[in-house]
């Protein structure tokens, strides 16, 4: 449905023209886009399509328009019910009048009843016409919703990108149609004006009264207005700022030393202070600060489960912190000087010696010691138990597979002095470049890199980074400032 060109039969969509904001086939380039400067392969343009703003905006607009159509169908049904009530009320009034007069008016009664039914049929016909239109709109929107949902789980980024670009104008046409119909929509009513009954009714009363259709405008609710308030993202538009919140680390005190931290399951931040034997817990904007006092200086932290976090404390080992009471708990003693830490399930990965990463269980038993080529500065792990690590003195991103094999994941000129590191649910790796002042994302599939945030986004000599539990937010500890960015990831 969304993979072939609209202009050339059965030609596969292969390129994207940024100037015209259009997905095109190879045959379109010499015919219509020869002078366009920014024509690129669709694979490159579609790198972040599955989780980008354009697709999420389209989905929001479809859902909002479905709400409007559903509301209009309900209003349509209510109008039908009201007409029925009005019809019955008027018929009752007519019957009451008829009971007070003689057979002379029986003919007039029948004529008036027929007139009522004709007017009623006119109203019902118009209502049914509106109903069929909205049912057709709803069916189309339901089809698109199901197709997008299925494609998000199984389709490639190229297919999704093409679908989004082709579906935008169709969605806009649907919105315009519904919006115009909503603006012109009228509610049909049947009124009855009773004639005065005079003594000489045979001469003066020629009918019971008059039946007419009265239309009043259908009011557009705030929900309806909101549905049309989401703009179509054109090539000149900019997505919303990626920054969700930011605050200075001085909110914790003037002499804090904040390098690393993590998200808690409820999206609060869990921030160790290397100088004051304190963990700070706060909202993403730095508000509602809580303190956890420790007996040792904290180095790094990670979340074990919804109720517990792990904090490395140098030579003292690893402390388990109860997140329900925000209080320190038992110590895990794997030996060595514990610094960087991550965990997957009940396995703890900790840097506790120079060029060493230990795999430890929750009782402190060392299950495996892995030697690395360089001394790991920060580490993270994915759900399959692969460990990723950085070294401050080079530009590499490295990994350790569950069998102990080491690999170089990434090395490029866009990453200088690699520091903080995190992984999302799709296996992509986020890395902070302290000297390059950027955050890059390394693709799981082809190991290519994408600069997610840079100096223009407020990145300045970043150190620690962490992804939220749902992977939709990225915390960056950034030159005495903590920033939270949206990632469009899940």
Note the pLDDT tens digit of each residue in 16-31.
888 787 889 999 988 8
* DSSP three-state, residue 225: helix
Return the axis-axis angle of helices 157-184 and 53-99, rounded to nearest 10°: 30
CA distance 376 to 97: 96
Compute φ and ψ for 132, nearest 5 degrees: -60, -35
Nearest to 71 by CA among 222, 249, 290: 222
Q: What are the DSSP E strand ranges found in 274-417? A: 278-282, 290-293, 300-305, 308-312, 318-322, 327-332, 341-344, 347-353, 356-360, 366-371, 378-381, 387-390, 396-400, 406-411
* DSSP three-state, residue 59: helix
Compute φ and ψ for 313, nearest 5 degrees: -130, 40
Are residues 398 and 388 in contact, defined by beta-carbon separation less than 8 angstroms?
Answer: yes
Are residues 94 and 106 in contact, defined by beta-carbon separation less than 8 angstroms?
Answer: no
CA distance 60 to 46: 20
E strand or H helix at 58: helix 53-99
E strand or H helix at 154: helix 106-154
Paired tokens of 277: 């034997």
E strand or H helix at 486: strand 481-486
Are residues 466 and 234 in contact, defined by beta-carbon separation less than 8 angstroms?
Answer: no
Q: Each residue of 238-270: b (16+ CB within 10 Å) or e?
A: eeeebebbbbebeebeeebebbbbbbbeebebb
User: Helix, strand, coil proportions of the chain in percent (round to 5)?
Assistant: 30, 30, 35
CA distance 452 to 468: 16
Are residues 379 and 391 in contact, defined by beta-carbon separation less than 8 angstroms?
Answer: no
**CA distance to 93, 309, 360, 437, per residue, from 343 (Å):** 79, 10, 9, 27
Long-range contacts from 372-377, C-beta under 8 angstroms, 24+ separation: 372/398, 372/400, 372/406, 373/398, 373/406, 374/398, 375/351, 376/340, 376/351, 377/340, 377/418, 377/419
pLDDT tens, residue order, the chain (490 aa):
567 888 888 888 888 888 787 889 999 988 888 888 778 888 777 665 554 556 667 777 888 888 888 888 888 888 888 889 888 988 888 888 777 666 666 777 788 888 888 888 888 888 888 888 888 888 888 888 888 888 878 878 888 788 888 888 888 887 888 788 777 777 888 887 766 654 455 555 566 677 787 777 766 666 666 556 555 444 444 556 789 999 999 999 988 999 999 999 999 999 999 888 999 999 999 999 999 999 999 999 999 999 999 999 999 999 999 999 999 999 999 999 999 999 999 999 999 999 999 999 999 999 999 999 889 999 999 999 999 999 988 889 999 999 989 999 999 888 999 999 999 988 899 999 999 999 999 988 888 888 889 998 899 999 999 999 999 899 999 878 999 999 865 4
Q: Which residue has the tokens 């969605």?
A: 171
Nearest to 296 by CA among 266, 316, 270: 316
Are residues 489 and 254 in contact, defined by beta-carbon separation less than 8 angstroms?
Answer: no
CA distance 69 to 263: 39
CA distance 126 to 311: 69
pLDDT on residue 465 = 97
* DSSP three-state, residue 146: helix
pLDDT on residue 196 = 60
Give the burial class of 413: count Cβ atoms within 10 A of its Cβ; 0-12 exposed, 13-18 middle, 19 or more buried. Answer: exposed
pLDDT on residue 198 = 45
As a CATH number, domain 243-486 is: 2.130.10.10
**Which strands form 327-332's sheet, in the order they lie side by side?**
300-305, 308-312, 318-322, 327-332
To 5 degrees, how large is the angle CA 397–CA 402–CA 404? Answer: 75
Are residues 448 and 439 in contact, defined by beta-carbon separation less than 8 angstroms?
Answer: no
CA distance 255 to 258: 10
Paired tokens of 257: 């030393």
CA distance 20 to 39: 10
pLDDT on residue 249 = 94
Compute φ and ψ for 170, nearest 5 degrees: -65, -40
pLDDT on residue 231 = 53
Instruction: Kindly list the domain boundaries of the chain, sorted by start residue.
Output: 49-227, 243-486
pLDDT on residue 444 = 85
């Amino acid at each position: 449905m969304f993979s072939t060109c609209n202009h050339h039969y059965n030609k596969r969509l292969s390129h994207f023209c940024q100037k015209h904001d259009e997905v095109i086939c190879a045959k379109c380039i010499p015919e219509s886009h020869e002078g366009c400067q920014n024509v690129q392969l669709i694979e490159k343009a579609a790198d972040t399509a599955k989780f980008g703003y354009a697709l999420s905006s389209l989905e929001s607009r479809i859902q909002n328009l479905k709400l409007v159509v559903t509301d209009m169908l309900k209003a349509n049904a209510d109008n039908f019910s009201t007409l029925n009530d009005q019809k019955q009320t008027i018929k009752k009034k007519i019957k009451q009048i008829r009971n007070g007069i003689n057979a002379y008016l029986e003919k007039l009664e029948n004529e008036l009843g027929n007139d009522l039914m004709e007017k009623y049929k006119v109203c019902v016909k118009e209502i049914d016409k509106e109903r069929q239109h909205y049912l057709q709109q709803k069916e189309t929107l339901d089809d698109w919703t199901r197709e997008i949902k299925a494609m998000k789980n199984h389709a490639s980024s190229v297919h999704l990108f093409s679908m989004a670009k082709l579906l935008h104008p169709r969605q806009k046409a649907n919105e315009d149609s519904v919006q115009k119909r909503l603006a012109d929509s009228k509610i049909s009513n049947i009124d009855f004006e009773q004639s005065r009954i005079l003594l000489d009714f045979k001469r003066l009363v020629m009918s019971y009264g008059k039946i007419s259709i009265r239309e009043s405008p259908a009011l557009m609710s705030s929900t309806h207005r909101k549905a049309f308030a989401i703009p179509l993202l054109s090539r000149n538009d900019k997505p919303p700022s990626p920054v969700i919140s930011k605050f200075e680390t001085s909110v914790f005190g003037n002499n804090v030393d904040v390098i690393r931290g993590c998200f808690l399951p409820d999206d609060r931040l869990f921030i160790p202070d290397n100088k004051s034997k304190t963990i700070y817990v706060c909202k993403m904007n730095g508000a509602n600060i809580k303190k956890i006092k420790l007996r040792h200086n904290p180095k790094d932290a990670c979340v074990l489960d919804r109720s517990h976090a792990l904090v490395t404390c140098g030579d003292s080992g690893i402390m388990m912190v109860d997140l329900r009471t925000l209080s320190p708990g038992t110590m895990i003693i794997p030996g060595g000087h514990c610094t960087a830490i991550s965990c997957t399930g009940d396995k703890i990965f900790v840097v506790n010696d120079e060029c060493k990463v230990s795999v430890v269980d929750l009782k402190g038993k060392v299950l495996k010691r892995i030697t690395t080529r360089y001394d790991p500065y920060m580490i993270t792990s994915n759900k399959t138990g692969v460990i990723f690590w950085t070294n401050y003195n080079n530009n590499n991103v490295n990994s350790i597979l569950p069998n102990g094999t080491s690999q170089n994941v990434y090395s490029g000129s866009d990453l200088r002095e690699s520091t903080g590191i995190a992984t999302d649910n799709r296996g992509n790796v986020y890395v902070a470049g302290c000297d390059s002042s950027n955050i890059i994302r390394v693709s799981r599939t082809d190991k290519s890199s994408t600069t997610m945030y840079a100096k223009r986004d407020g990145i300045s000599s970043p150190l620690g980074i962490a992804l939220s539990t749902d992977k939709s937010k990225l915390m960056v500890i950034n030159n005495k400032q903590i920033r939270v960015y949206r990632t469009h990831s899940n």
